[in-house]
Chain A
């Protein structure tokens, strides 16, 4: 938190993500920061959002701070329905009913493919060798990336996380770009935005390559280019994202009771 900007980069990212959600949508949030962004939207401008977790927790809002997991007691204290994974990820996401999902990423590439499985030195090659660093695997993000109407990817903006090509596609974006995704017939439309700690990237409608659409009051086009591991294109209409309003910040901080987004 700087003196000029009374909010953190993580808070700006959560608010920018939340602004992507519209009232009344059926939405699914991953664990962690994406959940805070989603419930911020519900607390602020989308009160009628129909939110669920991938384990099938419906009608709930977090109590006592950021839930430790998507089935944690902090998201189980005021639910209206508990079901199961096949219901939430299957009946409501794989079916095509879910409007929007929010997922995180360890690494993302210029076509919006997400890696959360592992870090390898160089290409994996034809033999699936051990990763240098094993990550968490796809979880439900692959299912959301395949099935949700649109997907918002939230990720910390660092060069190592923004790769020309991810070393492992855990959750598909537009794969090799162009029409590559269509080959698999996914009912979900793919990622509509990559919202980062520095700005917002959106896909070109034809090439599906992500370009820089907007930066924040505290960041700049140059800073974003320097922190992106591929030659990021910049739209001529690149603009600054409006800063959080006091109402937005207050709503976010009510949801983020334990201050997860305020830790630097």
Chain B
């Protein structure tokens, strides 16, 4: 039977979060489509010792690392693009709190693909010959590193190439623009590696900016790149990627991106940020109030808004989503 997988954010984290888990998120670049509300909730609930697998660093990883919740991380890109270095992650790496293993952006996507296909390894024609292959932060005394990207022989040509290890994260929190209650999802903008990640992770929680009726998915099935069969739970959360952007829904919040990154540069700034934007904010309404309703309105007036037009008629109102959540709770009571 098809049943709703809608869960409130806090309950999804309670149900699927574990100390020490291999946690994948981000899966898009640093200024967009990051399920950061899930990371904020991980912090609220005090999860620790995470092994973070982020295709690219985002403000979520920046925050989690700054707050001391990340022991190990693997990334292709660990900055914040035009917003500069990720001060929180950087501080955690420089003081040894977080051990960061480097790959390239294609490498991370291929490692998710390898996990999704249950392959033993993925042939590597990139990253070889560079220090990404020779140096391993997880095995710092090995030089050159033996098990990070070992050299293998192409059985057809005899050429020496590398082998990437596949990734199968314990949990992936994946940001999507639109999801239905069953867990079918549409991503507006580049999907980056969310398609592969959704098949590589052992469990997937979708974090959706908006909830649509399943009829929307039936109208655009070619665009549903994450089908419900691989999804455990759906969290509805407007502005789920803020201060990062979400194509079709809202732009990057330039001033908060900068203020947040500045705060994460110090332990005190991080504590203040966590107080003001994590532990001090309870629920969606409080979160939108904290962003500022006029800011919400301004960021929603995005030049990409037309991308959402074909789907608007299926979008559920906050009250409708609340009613659906209530029904789910009744069923599980």
Contact = CB atoms under 8 A, between A and B. Distances in A.
B131 interface: yes
B81 A32 contact: yes
B31 A94 contact: no
A71 B29 contact: yes
From A32, A71, A84, A170, name the one whose CB has the most chain B CB atoms within 10 angstroms: A71
Contacts of B55: 85
Contact of B125 (A126, A134, A138, A146): A146
A76 to B, nearest CB: 4
B105 A140 contact: yes
7 tightest A-B contacts by CB?
A136-B79, A139-B77, A55-B190, A69-B31, A69-B81, A142-B104, A89-B106
B96 A130 contact: yes
A63 interface: yes
A140 B160 CA distance: 22
Interface string A173-202: 001000001011111000000000000000
Interface of B: 28-33, 55-57, 75-79, 81-83, 85-86, 89-90, 93-94, 96, 100, 102-110, 113, 125-132, 135-137, 140-141, 143, 159-161, 188-196, 245, 247, 251-252, 254, 257, 302-304, 307
Given A69-B82, A86-B193, A136-B77, A55 B143 contact: no
Interface residues of A, number: 64
B82 A137 contact: no
A48 interface: no
A143 B126 contact: yes
Given A73-B252, A127-B140, A185-B161, A117 B131 contact: yes
B79 A71 contact: no
B83 to A, nearest CB: 7
A90 interface: yes
B108 to A, nearest CB: 8
Contacts of B76: 137-140
Interface in A63-122: 63-64, 66-74, 76-77, 82-86, 89-90, 93-94, 117
B130 A172 contact: yes
Contacts of A90: 106, 109-110
26 contacts: A53-B190, A56-B190, A56-B191, A67-B82, A68-B31, A69-B81, A70-B81, A73-B247, A73-B252, A82-B188, A83-B190, A84-B190, A84-B196, A85-B106, A85-B109, A85-B190, A94-B106, A124-B135, A128-B136, A131-B93, A138-B102, A142-B104, A146-B128, A169-B129, A170-B130, A186-B125
